[in-house]
Amino acid sequence: MAPRRPRSAGAFPKKKVEHPATKPRAEPGELYAALDLGTNSCRMLIARPTGNQFQVVDSFSKAVQLGQGLEASGRLSRSSMARTVQALQICRRKIESHGVKRMRLVATEACRRAANAKQFLRYVRKETGLPLEIIPAEEEARLAVISCASLVSPKTEQLLVVDIGGGSTELVWIDISDVAPPERARAILKLSGGFNQPLGEVPAARVLDWISVPLGVATLKDQFSDVEDDAARFALMSWFFEEKLADFSPYASGSPQEGFQVIGTSGTVTTVAACHLGLRRYDRNRVDGLTMTSAQIDAVIRSFLVLGPEGRRTDPRIGRDRHTLIMSGAAILQALMRVWPTDRMSIADRGLREGLLYAQMAADGVLEEMGQI
C-alpha cells in the first residue's frame, strides 16, 4: 500500500541555505539545539553527541498557549505571541550562553493554521533573532517516529506511533515485518530520510499510512468548552476524536493483536504513566519505555474523572500546566486504545525535539553509527 497524504487540514544572522558540500563540518563535542514550539508549549533541548547517542546539557519547557483563541479567530493573538516571545528570549539566552551554533528551531500546528503566522515569524526574528521555521505535518510525524526507535520491540511487525500534541495528533503506521528482528529499531531510524524511501535490496521499514488529525489537547478542549458536565464533555471529546480516524488504515484493517505495537508520545501519556506509577515527583527513567495495558490506562482516566476539575487542579501528579488539558488528552488516548487491535501501549518520554537532535547529528555524521537514541 502506498503512503497517503494526511487528511488534515537580533543575535543570530539570517539563516542561509548551504549546499551540503560547503556546509562547515561539526566540531567534536559541538552542541546542538532543538526547539519545538507547539500550540500549547515551547520546549527546547541542548545536547552533545556521545557515541551513538546524545547527552542533554540543558533544557527548557514552558506552557505559552500560543494557540489560545486560534480556533475561533484563525489568528495568533497579540497576547499569546508576546508570551511566546518572552519564552523564546529565554531560549536565545541559553543558546548564546552555551555557544550553540548548530540548531533547528521549529513551529508546528498553531503556526501551520494561523493566518498571521508569517508576521509572527518576522516578529520572533526581530525580537529574538532566532531562525524559527514552520514544518509540515509529515515532517513532524517523521521526527516523532525516529525518536521512538529504541522502544520498538524485536517482536513487533506492525508499529503505530502516536504523537498527541496541543493542536494536532499525528499517527504513523509502519510495517517492519520484512526486517530481521534485531534490525527493526535501526530500520525505523532510517526513516529520517523521509517516509517515501526507495525500495532496495535490504528489507526496510515501510510507512503504510499516516494521518495528521487537526485535534490536540488544546484544540479538542476548545471544541467542547461549552459543555458544562465534566463526564459528558469527556465522552463527547473521545467519540468526536474517534470519528476522525474512521478512514485510517489500521483502524479499518482489523489487524491481529500479535506483533502489533503502539508507542504513545506526549505529555498526556507520560502524565497518565506517572499517575499509574504513583509518582509524586516525575521520574523520566521510570516512565520512558514503560508498557501499560488498556485496563491500567482506563483506571487512571477514571480516577481523573472522579477527581473532577477542582481535584485535578490541585493534584500534584497532574501539574499546574496540564490540569486544564489532561481530560482532552485522556479522551484522545482512550479513543486510540478503543480502536486499535492491541490492549497495551508503550510510553515514550521523547518526541519532536529528540527527533530533531538525532536528524541533525545523523546528517552531520557525528554519531558513531545509526544506533539507539
Q: Where are the domains of the chain?
A: 32-136, 139-352
For residue 283, pLDDT over 80 is answered with yes
Identical topology for domains 32-136 and 139-352: yes
Predicted local distance difference test score (pLDDT) of residue 249: 67
d(CA 271, CA 319): 9
Mean pLDDT over residues 225-244, rounded?
A: 95
For residue 93, pLDDT over 90 is answered with yes
- Reply yes or no on domain 32-136 having CATH 3.40.50.10540: no
| Residue 284: HSE in the Cβ half-sphere, 13 Å Cα cutoff | 6
Mean pLDDT over residues 221-249, rounded?
A: 92
Burial level of 159, CB count in 10 A (0-12/13-18/19+)?
buried
Q: How confident is the model at residue 258 (pLDDT cuts 50, 70, 90)?
A: confident
Pairing label, strands 344-348, 291-293: antiparallel
Per residue in 201-214, pLDDT tens? 567 888 888 999 99
Mean pLDDT over residues 367-372, rounded?
A: 52
Q: How confident is the model at residue 317 (pLDDT cuts 50, 70, 90)?
A: confident
Mean pLDDT over residues 16-25, rounded?
A: 48
| Residue of higher predicted confidence among 196 and 117 | 117
Predicted local distance difference test score (pLDDT) of residue 15: 40
Q: Is the distance from CB of 2 to CB of 209 less than 8 angstroms?
A: no
Predicted local distance difference test score (pLDDT) of residue 325: 92
Pick the CATH number of 139-352 from 1.10.490.10, 3.30.420.150, 3.20.20.120, 3.60.70.12: 3.30.420.150
For residue 269, pLDDT over 80 is answered with yes
For residue 235, pLDDT over 80 is answered with yes
For residue 370, pLDDT over 50 is answered with no
Per residue in 285-296, pLDDT tens? 999 999 999 999
- Percent pLDDT > 90 in the chain is 58
Q: How confident is the model at residue 250 (pLDDT cuts 50, 70, 90)?
A: low
Per residue in 98-109, pLDDT tens? 999 999 999 999
- Per DSSP, 230 falls in state H
Q: How confident is the model at residue 342 (pLDDT cuts 50, 70, 90)?
A: confident
Predicted local distance difference test score (pLDDT) of residue 203: 76
For residue 308, pLDDT over 80 is answered with yes
Length reported for the chain: 373
For residue 116, pLDDT over 90 is answered with yes
d(CA 119, CA 141): 25
Predicted local distance difference test score (pLDDT) of residue 201: 55
Reported pTM: 0.83
Predicted local distance difference test score (pLDDT) of residue 373: 39
d(CA 330, CA 300): 9
The mean of the pLDDT values for the chain is 86
CB neighbourhood size of 225 (10 A): 11
What is the DSSP track for 106-149?
A: EE-HHHHH-TTHHHHHHHHHHHH---EEE--HHHHHHHHHHHTG
For residue 113, pLDDT over 80 is answered with yes
For residue 341, pLDDT over 80 is answered with no
The residue among 172, 138, 114, 167 whose CA lies nearest residue 329 is 167
Predicted local distance difference test score (pLDDT) of residue 5: 43
Per residue in 348-359, pLDDT tens? 998 899 999 988
Q: How confident is the model at residue 260 (pLDDT cuts 50, 70, 90)?
A: confident
Predicted local distance difference test score (pLDDT) of residue 9: 35
What is the DSSP track for 312-344?
A: HHH-TTT-TTTTTTHHHHHHHHHHHHHHSS-SE
